[in-house]
């Protein structure tokens, strides 16, 4: 990843009187032993971490699988499964040796052939992986414990790519479970990570259980973000699906659950005033970027002139006020595709984003749009639904025929994979995924088979230039050029930058302050 992680705030502990739980609160069963029960951002619907950029699948992936390299909280890349590596003077030959004793959950040893097969499967599905493939000549196992990569030209991002936390993450899995066909999902969930997926106890729509991998050998270094020694100190992690935020917040207060990833903003006063709870506040790349992703493949937004009208219909401050995000958890207005308060923050091209419903109405009248349905997929009950509702009102006033369709996130993931049948959807993404042109979901996947299918040849060249830039000054300059091109192409329209604080019972110790939920270092 280019840049680095920034300005993590200290955890804010609550210091006032507690609240009684609602009598109507449904009971959440606790397991015996050292168990932690968590409600994450959503249910884990897709358990194959290579085939989606969904953040919830990445969270699942980091607990079940492992990576060759990993990133610490300052953005530095470190060996993880790799014990040592060597590169030639001309940077064209790379050799990697695995740590001894690595094993998958089924007891089989991790081999170099597994690593090569995993990288070959992952790389075509990821924007940075495709860049690596473009520079690669060969990749092969040398023996059971080592493999090599030979390049056609130097690839300065080698370690950044192999250790990136950006979805899709290059997780390692057994070669035997990798399907032969591209796009097919794995049928068996076997990794070498610190937790084991308990398939027998998975109840779709209710509960998923991850148990401690007793055979896992962590690195000697302390855990640091997703790097270092992932020592699991609990017996199991119970992921509970509760669709209603208020019910989840009540369960947290009552001690029925231990951790809630996204606290509802309208409950923050109650939660911050509870002596038994701690609130985790985040900033910089640990914040989120909200976007309206547009479908370039079909429908009204296939016309770039229609897409550009959308910049005049989004008032970030209005949307975040409608959601109820307190001032301390949001940036009032951020024009930067690469997030604000990050090394690549930019306002280049942002003059296009001037809110004016009247101006949008006049601009729309000059386009090819003639009242075709604009199908907006929305996740019912989510903050992104509120963002979509605000936009839909402005779009209707500007002359769009908007047709909102409510569904759950899993349905959005399935529907967005089809080139037809939808026009846009509101979503928000981890800042660490959006703070660079090479990782930003809607810019980095330019001209790729990725939902939305935005494509511009000039953008492809700029992304290559960015990847080959010699220093940060050059990256900032090219990053500005890419942003100007993105404002014209309009792969998405940002609706705000904000933090979603997490909350947890103070019985949990050693929580890592991060937008990524991580439980391998937690004690109870």
Write out the two tokens for 446: 């330019």
- Residue 7 has a pLDDT of 32
pLDDT in tens, the chain (524 residues): 333 332 333 322 222 222 223 223 334 444 446 999 999 999 999 999 999 999 999 999 999 999 999 999 888 999 999 999 999 999 999 999 999 999 999 999 999 999 999 999 999 999 999 999 999 999 999 999 999 999 999 998 999 999 999 999 999 999 999 999 887 999 999 999 999 999 999 999 999 999 999 989 999 999 999 999 999 999 999 999 998 999 999 999 999 999 999 999 999 999 999 999 999 988 888 999 999 999 999 999 999 999 999 999 999 999 999 999 999 999 999 999 999 998 999 999 999 999 999 999 999 999 999 999 999 999 998 999 999 999 999 999 999 999 999 999 889 999 999 999 999 999 999 999 999 999 999 999 999 999 999 999 999 999 999 998 888 999 999 999 999 999 999 999 999 999 999 999 999 999 988 989 999 999 99
- Alpha helices by DSSP H, listed for 273-356, are 304-309, 316-323
- Fold equal for 12-42+194-281+501-505 and 69-177: no
Which residues lie closer than 8 Å to 218 by C-beta, 6 or more apart? 194, 228, 229, 230, 231, 520
Place of tokens 């569904």: 407
CATH of domain 285-498: 3.10.105.10
> What is the C-alpha separation between 484 and 44, in angstroms, rounded?
36
- Residue 313 has a pLDDT of 98
In words, the CATH class of domain 12-42+194-281+501-505 is: alpha beta
Cβ(445)–Cβ(489) below 8 Å? no
The SS3 of residue 383 is: helix
Place of tokens 């019912």: 380
Place of tokens 């929305």: 378
Sheet bearing 146-151, strands edge to edge: 82-87, 93-98, 146-151, 136-143
Place of tokens 């075709």: 372
- Residue 470 has a pLDDT of 84
> What is the C-alpha separation between 92 and 153, in angstroms, rounded?
6
pTM of the model: 0.84
Which residues lie closer than 8 Å to 229 by C-beta, 6 or more apart? 218, 219, 220, 221, 222, 223
- Residue 11 has a pLDDT of 28
In words, the CATH class of domain 69-177 is: alpha beta
> β-strand 288-294 against 277-280: which pairing, if any?
unpaired
- Alpha helices by DSSP H, listed for 336-382, are 357-365
- Residue 14 has a pLDDT of 28
- Residue 410 has a pLDDT of 85
- Residue 182 has a pLDDT of 80
- Residue 21 has a pLDDT of 30
Domain boundaries, the chain: 12-42+194-281+501-505, 69-177, 285-498
């Amino acid at each position: 990843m280019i840049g680095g992680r920034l300005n993590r705030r200290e955890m804010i502990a609550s210091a006032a009187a507690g609240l009684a739980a609602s009598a109507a609160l449904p009971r959440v069963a606790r397991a015996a032993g050292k168990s932690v029960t968590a409600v994450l951002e959503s249910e884990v619907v897709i358990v194959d971490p290579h085939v989606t950029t969904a953040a919830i699948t990445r969270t699942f992936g980091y607990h079940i699988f492992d990576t060759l390299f990993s990133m610490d909280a300052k953005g530095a890349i470190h060996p993880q499964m790799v014990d040592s590596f060597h590169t030639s003077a001309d940077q064209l030959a790379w050799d990697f040796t695995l740590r001894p004793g690595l094993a998958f959950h089924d007891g089989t040893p991790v081999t170099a052939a597994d690593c090569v097969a995993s990288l070959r499967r992952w790389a075509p599905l990821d924007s940075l992986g495709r860049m690596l493939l473009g520079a690669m000549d060969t990749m092969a196992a040398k023996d059971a414990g080592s493999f090599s990569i030979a390049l056609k030209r130097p690839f300065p991002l080698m370690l950044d790519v192999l250790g990136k936390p950006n979805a899709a993450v290059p997780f390692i899995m057994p070669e035997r479970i990798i399907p032969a066909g591209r796009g097919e999902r794995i049928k068996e969930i076997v990794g070498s990570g610190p937790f084991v997926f308990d398939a027998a106890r998975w109840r779709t729509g209710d509960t998923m259980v991850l148990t401690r991998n007793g055979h896992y050998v962590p690195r000697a270094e302390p855990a640091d973000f997703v790097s270092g020694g992932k020592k699991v100190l609990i017996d199991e992690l119970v992921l509970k699906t509760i669709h209603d935020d208020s019910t989840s917040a009540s369960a947290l207060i009552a001690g029925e659950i231990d951790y809630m990833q996204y606290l509802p903003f309208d409950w923050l006063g109650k939660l911050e005033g509870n002596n038994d709870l701690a609130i985790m506040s985040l900033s910089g790349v640990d914040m989120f970027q909200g976007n309206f992703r547009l479908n370039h493949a079909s429908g009204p937004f296939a016309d770039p002139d229609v897409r550009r009208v959308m910049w005049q219909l989004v008032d970030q401050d209005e949307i975040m006020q409608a959601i109820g995000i307190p001032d301390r958890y949001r940036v009032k207005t951020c024009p930067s595709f690469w997030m604000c308060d990050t090394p690549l923050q930019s306002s280049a091209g942002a003059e296009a984003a001037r809110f004016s419903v009247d101006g949008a109405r006049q601009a729309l009248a000059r386009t090819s749009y003639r009242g075709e349905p604009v199908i907006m997929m929305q996740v019912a009950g989510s903050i992104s639904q509120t963002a979509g509702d605000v936009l839909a009102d402005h779009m209707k006033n500007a002359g769009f025929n908007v047709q909102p369709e409510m569904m759950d996130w899993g349905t959005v993931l399935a529907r967005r994979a089809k080139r037809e049948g939808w026009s846009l959807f509101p979503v928000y993404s981890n800042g660490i995924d959006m703070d660079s042109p090479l990782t930003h979901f809607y810019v980095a996947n330019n001209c790729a088979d990725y939902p939305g299918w935005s494509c511009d040849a000039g953008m492809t060249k700029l992304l290559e230039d960015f990847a080959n830039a010699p220093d940060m000054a050059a990256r900032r300059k090219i990053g500005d050029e890419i942003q100007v091109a993105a404002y014209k192409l309009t792969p998405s329209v940002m609706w705000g930058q904000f933090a979603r604080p997490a909350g947890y019972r103070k019985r949990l110790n050693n929580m890592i302050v991060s937008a990524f939920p991580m439980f391998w270092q937690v004690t109870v």
